[in-house]
Amino acid sequence: MKKAFVIILLAVLGFFLTKTFMDIPFGENRIGEVSSNETAAGYYLNNTPAKTKVANVVTAIVVNYRGLDTLGEVTVLFLASTGLASILYRRKREEEDAERLSLPSSRIMRTGVRVLFPAIVLLGIYVFIHGHLTPGGGFQGGTIVATGFLLMLISYKGFNTDHSRMVWIESLAGLSFVGIGIWGLVSGNTFLENIPETGILNSLISGGLIPIIYIVVGFKVAVELTGILDILLNIKPKK
């Protein structure tokens, strides 16, 4: 009896979910502010560069058109990293003999990482600073920066990160994101409204608040991932 009830319930849910998705006009022409022969994707491709002065349409969509959703994604990443760090840090305190999980690196490895580290960090910063002009952005650039720190952590046992400083950077980045959004509300516009002058298309100083938000996201992602990696590498597995 229970199995039959579950099957019927799943069938009803499946029917309504399928009907809902079938009723969504994916790719159909929009009616209203654009011509009837232009789709939603066409609207963004044709109007974003002129309105936002951002060459990378994906960046404009992620940071401007759906900026509130991006703020939610950053919040989820923050909560996940905080929860993981809290659990691992407590385990680290319980094991006083915890050491970094890395084998002694060769001289070639250490020398190569020392040369590559500044180049990797600069590449990551370049990616999220130019996220409004070229493919990339805050999440990608922050991950690249964290990769550079990962190489240093696994190559040098004496290399340590300052977690107190990282907490300050992470907190300031998150507050800056929210503060930019509130600025739009205080100015009589919408949350995360692109208020300042957007500048000239394809120039570094353009796009209004969009590149600033991506820079903030880049620093936040880089710090959060680096902190998680540092804690993971300092925890010995329980025997």
In a domain, residue 11? The reply is no
d(C-alpha 120, C-alpha 175), whole Å = 27
pLDDT tops 50 at residue 34: no
The answer as to whether 239 is a domain residue is no
Task: Show the 3-state SS of 73-109.
Answer: HHHHHHHHHHHHHHHHHHHHHHCCCCCCCCCCCCHHH
67 vs 238, residue with greater confidence: 67
d(CA 131, CA 62): 11
Q: Identify the three-state secondary structure at position 29.
A: strand
Q: What domain range is 70 assigned to? A: 56-233
pLDDT at residue 41 above 50?
Answer: yes
What's the whole-number average pLDDT of the chain?
Answer: 79
121-160: pLDDT as tens digits: 999 999 989 888 888 888 899 999 999 999 998 888 778 7
Sequence-ordered list of residues with C-beta below 8 angstroms from that of 157, at least 6 positions apart, any chain: 99, 100, 102, 104
Q: What pLDDT is stored for residue 72 in this prediction?
A: 84
Please give the Cα distance from 155 to 112 (Å, whole number).
Answer: 10
In a domain, 15, yes or no: no
Cβ atoms of 67 and 213 closer than 8 Å: yes
Supply the pLDDT for residue 142.
92
Domain assignment of residue 43, yes or no: no
Residue 206, beta-bridge partner list: 199
* pLDDT-wise least confident of 59-63, 84-88, 148-152: 84-88
Residue in the structure block whose two tokens are 């936040």? 220
In this predicted model, what pLDDT tens digit does every residue of 215-234 receive, in sequence order?
Answer: 998 998 999 888 888 877 77
Is 106 among the domain residues?
yes
Is 45 domain-assigned? no
- Asked, for residue 188, whether it belongs to a domain, the answer is yes
What's the one-letter identity of residue 82? T
Q: Which two tokens stand for residue 175?
A: 């507050």
Judged by phi (left if over 0) then psi (alpha if -120 to 50, else beta), residue 159 lies in beta
Contact residues for 128 (Cβ-Cβ < 8 A; gap 6+): 136, 137, 138, 140, 141, 142, 214, 215, 217, 218
Domain count, the chain: 1
pLDDT value for 136: 81
Is residue 226 situated within a structural domain? yes
The pTM of this model reads 0.71
